[in-house]
Chains A and B, each alone.
Chain A
Amino acid sequence: MSEQQTSSGAATHTPTARAGGRRTRGRLPGLSGLSGATVRNLGLVAALLLLCLVGFLTGGDRFASLTNLMIVLSLAAVTGVIAIGMTFVITTGGIDLSVGSLLGLTTVWASTLATQTMADQYGWIVMVGCALLVGLAAGLINGVVIAYGNVVAFIATLAMLVAARGLAELIANRRTQIVDQPSFETTFQGDLLGVPKIVWIFVVVAVAGWFLLNRTTFGRRTVAVGGNREAARLAGIDVKRHLMYVYGLSGLTVGIGGVMLLARTGAGSSTNGLLLELEVIAAVVVGGTLLVGGRGTIVGTVIGVLIFATLTNVFIINNIDSSVQQIARGAIIVAAVLLQQRFARRSKAG
């Protein structure tokens, strides 16, 4: 009797009708998915420029000077490097709350008397190697616990946050350790071509991070794991191992940040990096990396970091209470996330 052959159960899944009319704004054919990200990044650049305009109008030459620009960049550099690692973590749909504590731990461990004495003998590489290894090892521990222990990233890295701060206090005995190691100071302090060396490090890490995310199999796997973990697994990707690497990478960037912070402040302290994780996560999220995973942008993260650094700078130049600054930060985060959610809803609707 009925000639209708579509099985109804299957038909309800047919995406054609729903998908047919979907707009793909910002995605021009032939320019791949990047152009959508470019549109979002242009929005961020506009926000940054607006902020600079406010800075110039209120601070005049005190804001718009080369010296001040370098101050802003130095301020952004440490957060920025760590935010690059965090971008990978968040792109997988995870989170790393331990970066602030770990930053403290790496600066402390790399500046103990013993490490500095060894550095006197073998050169700055000892301090740098120490910071990188401590960061990498802690990151890998996070990764193993999350990937193989199936512990939620929020909890695993929260535990690391607490433990690492404690270890840092234990090692430093709650004292500030002054860096007094000539080869380290000459290598990492001061300028190169008129730009602070730590800013150069930020630039190198950001460029490397961009290539890693956009041009390598590592980056593609990161997006795949965050976008659809099961699909990635069934496509043959070793999801667990990859997650471990991603948290290891985050730890490694913290190690780099530790070296930079030692260079900038000249001291290792267990209180270094207090609440830095919030600043880093805020910058990444404002930059347009989706908290649910599957989309990450290094360019967005860099601009996000610059927005917050500039904001701080504008407030300082105008002698405005830091409490007001915190309120402004909060407002920016909420506004950015609201926009992001709208985007996510629209892309889920299909």
Chain B
Amino acid sequence: MVTEDPAAPLLQMQGIVKHFPGAKALDGVDLDVRAGEVHCLLGQNGAGKSTLIKVLAGAHQPTAGTIRLDGDEIAFPHPDTALEHGVATMYQELDVVDGLTVAENIYLGHELASAGFTLRRSAAQRTRQLMDRLGHPEISPHREVGSLSAAGKQIVSMARALSRDARVIVMDEPSAVLDSGEVDNLFRVVDELTEQGIAIVYISHRLEEIRRIGDRITVLKDGVTVGRNLDVSTTATDELIKLMTGKNVEYAFPERPGVPDDAPVRLEVTDLALADVFSDVSLTVRAGEIVGLAGLVGSGRSEILETIYGARRATRGRVELDGKSLRRGSVGAAVAADIGLAPEERKSQGLLLDEPVYRNVTLSSFARIARGGWLDERAERSAAAEQAAALELRPNDVERPIRTLSGGNQQKVMLARWLVHGCEVLLLDEPTRGVDVGARSEIYDLVRRLADAGTAVLVVSSEIPEVLGLSDRVLVVSDGQVVHEGPAEQIDEHQVLDMVMEGSVA
């Protein structure tokens, strides 16, 4: 018999360790979830939240550690087993099928059927019951899911969890796609679910939300639980942020020589806006200066870079290079004006993975490498080899397919591309993503050397210490707005997090 002790954990994860080849994503995580509570999971980007919920959903197998449900040790070798045990996960990118109806989505994979025929009527009936239970009787079982808003899709996703008799529902940043009215509605639904004894594991960056609906908090940092079962009502924001940032390992950041006051402004962005993403962004970067944009994923920071670069067409505003206006929405114009971008997703946005290093290096420099449309492969190779040597590419072989290089060396190839082209302004989006620790300081040094040579550099990173350590000046972006601007030395990680999480200026 199940004990009715409300304090006994429904779900208990202990000492969860998850290794990926070459990296430890989780290194001893504990999580206790009680029936009927909203348990918040807090942590910075890369703290291990996503990995943890994938373990809980059965999508990843933990390297070590135990999972207990109602005190019984269980394993989730497959996503289906997790569902069978009543653990359902709502991912951020909702996994509903747009072309199917609400009822079809809810019973997808466990269709109500008799002799191979789906029982449409009873599916519809049960869907109506589920929707009533979630307080959304207006969503018809026969409605096509593609016609619902993000909030509606979320409800469908929850109904699907309930249809599998879920006792624990994991929600990964459910509010990220909702506007404020929809968020209120989400919270109401969450309240109703917890009243029915269902446990919610709630992941969010927004402290205000956690204050509103959370019961207890677990804080992750670098794959380890650093704060367990903290009471939401008694734990100060300050303490939470301290736990999330902790003491960071010091990367060796290059020294800032300081930008002379008379250094010319290279890049000037005025009132730049992209509909529904960011607005009123104005910034300048001077020759030799490194400016950092700090903000959370989804704050609009990457979009700002891409819009400056012309990869997205600004709805408003101006981008000027050395006083000359750039054509809106034209990457070609930006490249011709010597602006270079090392994009966020290097592999999908930056590189031709099967092509050799030298062809990736020269991809933007045909005007220099080719005459009348004819490629000079010897010139290509020597230009690439020259940069490979200067950037200490390892292995120093420009013939290798770029796929075989490490993340740090792939990033060097991206930098080499713009060095061969010649670059006045360098836009770096997550310059050290997927770059191992040893190679990071090398990248930092390279960026600083480029700046010292007169390049204006604009850096975006989700790792706040990186932005603060590398930049001369920092802009903090929250919800598509620049909320702070100032010298990097005069602000710390704690203050930045405070600003982006509360959306207020410190």
Residues in chain B near residue A9, CB distance under 8 A? 25, 45-48, 50-51
Q: Annotate B351-368 by CB proximity to A: 1 below 8 A, 0 otherwise.
A: 111111001000110100
With A220-B359, A236-B332, A350-B353 as known contacts, state yes or no: A11 contacts B348, CB within 8 Å.
no
Decide: B353 and A228 in contact? CB cutoff 8 A.
yes
Decide: A347 and B354 in contact? CB cutoff 8 A.
yes
- Residue B206 at the A interface, CB < 8 A? no
Q: Which of B45, B343, B403, B463 has the most CB of A within 10 A?
A: B403
Decide: B249 and A3 in contact? CB cutoff 8 A.
yes
Interface residues of A in 5-55 (CB under 8 A from B): 5-20, 22, 24, 27, 29-33
- Please tell me which one of the listed residues B20, B370, B403 contacts residue A12 in the complex, with CB atoms under 8 A apart: B20
Residues in chain B near residue A219, CB distance under 8 A? 375
Counting chain B residues whose Cβ lies within 8 A of the other chain, the interface size class is: 35 or more
Q: Interface stretch among A189-197, A210-218, A254-262?
A: A210-218
Assembly CA distance A219 to B354 (angstroms): 16
Decide: B226 and A216 in contact? CB cutoff 8 A.
no
Decide: A230 and B348 in contact? CB cutoff 8 A.
yes
- Residue B165 at the A interface, CB < 8 A? no
Assembly CA distance A261 to B355 (angstroms): 38
B417 nearest CB neighbor, chain A only? A235
Report B199 CB to chain A, min CB distance, Å: 25
With A33-B401, A224-B363 as known contacts, state yes or no: A2 contacts B223, CB within 8 Å.
yes
- Please tell me which one of the listed residues B44, B332, B417, B436 contacts residue A16 in the complex, with CB atoms under 8 A apart: B436
Report A264 CB to chain B, min CB distance, Å: 32
Interface residues of B in 335-382 (CB under 8 A from A): 335-336, 341, 343, 347-356, 359, 363-364, 366, 370, 373-375, 377
Residues in chain B near residue A278, CB distance under 8 A? none
Report B381 CB to chain A, min CB distance, Å: 9
Decide: A11 and B432 in contact? CB cutoff 8 A.
no
Residues in chain B near residue A221, CB distance under 8 A? 366
Report A320 CB to chain B, min CB distance, Å: 40
Assembly CA distance A231 to B119 (angstroms): 47
Decide: B350 and A231 in contact? CB cutoff 8 A.
yes
Q: Which of A3, A9, A27, A295 has the most CB of B within 10 A?
A: A9
- Residue B279 at the A interface, CB < 8 A? no
Report B404 CB to chain A, min CB distance, Å: 5
Assembly CA distance A31 to B400 (angstroms): 10
Decide: B352 and A223 in contact? CB cutoff 8 A.
yes
Decide: B26 and A1 in contact? CB cutoff 8 A.
no
With A13-B407, A16-B407 as known contacts, state yes or no: A8 contacts B23, CB within 8 Å.
yes
Decide: A4 and B373 in contact? CB cutoff 8 A.
no
- Residue B222 at the A interface, CB < 8 A? yes
- Residue A100 at the B interface, CB < 8 A? no
- Please tell me which one of the listed residues B334, B374, B407 contacts residue A14 in the complex, with CB atoms under 8 A apart: B407
Decide: A6 and B309 in contact? CB cutoff 8 A.
no
Assembly CA distance A31 to B356 (angstroms): 11
Decide: A10 and B354 in contact? CB cutoff 8 A.
no
Residues in chain B near residue A175, CB distance under 8 A? none
Assembly CA distance A221 to B351 (angstroms): 13
- Please tell me which one of the listed residues B23, B309, B354, B407 contacts residue A295 in the complex, with CB atoms under 8 A apart: B354
- Residue A123 at the B interface, CB < 8 A? no
- Residue A178 at the B interface, CB < 8 A? no
A5 nearest CB neighbor, chain B only? B249
Decide: A12 and B23 in contact? CB cutoff 8 A.
yes
- Residue A180 at the B interface, CB < 8 A? no
Residues in chain B near residue A27, CB distance under 8 A? 401
Residues in chain A near residue B343, CB distance under 8 A? 234
Assembly CA distance A18 to B434 (angstroms): 12
- Residue A174 at the B interface, CB < 8 A? no
- Residue A266 at the B interface, CB < 8 A? no
Assembly CA distance A219 to B373 (angstroms): 9
Assembly CA distance A29 to B162 (angstroms): 57
Decide: B437 and A5 in contact? CB cutoff 8 A.
yes
- Residue A238 at the B interface, CB < 8 A? yes
Assembly CA distance A223 to B406 (angstroms): 23
- Residue B22 at the A interface, CB < 8 A? yes
B405 nearest CB neighbor, chain A only? A19
Assembly CA distance A22 to B399 (angstroms): 15
- Please tell me which one of the listed residues B48, B311, B405 contacts residue A8 in the complex, with CB atoms under 8 A apart: B48
Assembly CA distance A32 to B51 (angstroms): 39
B397 nearest CB neighbor, chain A only? A29
Decide: A22 and B375 in contact? CB cutoff 8 A.
no
B50 nearest CB neighbor, chain A only? A9
Residues in chain B near residue A216, CB distance under 8 A? 370, 373-375
Report A182 CB to chain B, min CB distance, Å: 38
A219 nearest CB neighbor, chain B only? B375
Decide: B26 and A8 in contact? CB cutoff 8 A.
yes
Interface residues of A in 219-245 (CB under 8 A from B): 219-221, 223-224, 227-228, 230-238
- Residue A304 at the B interface, CB < 8 A? no
Decide: A6 and B354 in contact? CB cutoff 8 A.
no
Decide: A2 and B222 in contact? CB cutoff 8 A.
yes
- Residue B68 at the A interface, CB < 8 A? no
- Please tell me which one of the listed residues A5, A20, A234 contacts residue B331 in the complex, with CB atoms under 8 A apart: A234
Residues in chain A near residue B39, CB distance under 8 A? none
11 pairs, A vs B, C-beta closer than 8 Å: A8-B222, A10-B46, A11-B434, A14-B436, A15-B407, A17-B20, A32-B399, A216-B375, A234-B311, A235-B363, A236-B331
| Residues of chain A at the chain B interface (Cβ within 8 Å) | 1-20, 22, 24, 27, 29-33, 215-221, 223-224, 227-228, 230-238, 294-295, 347, 350
Question: A15-B407, A19-B405 provided; 12 other pairs, C-beta below 8 A?
Answer: A1-B224, A5-B248, A12-B20, A13-B434, A15-B403, A15-B434, A19-B404, A30-B399, A231-B351, A234-B331, A235-B417, A350-B353
Those 10 A-B pairs whose CB atoms lie nearest each other, nearest first: A7-B46, A11-B23, A236-B335, A17-B22, A17-B21, A5-B249, A9-B46, A13-B434, A8-B25, A16-B406
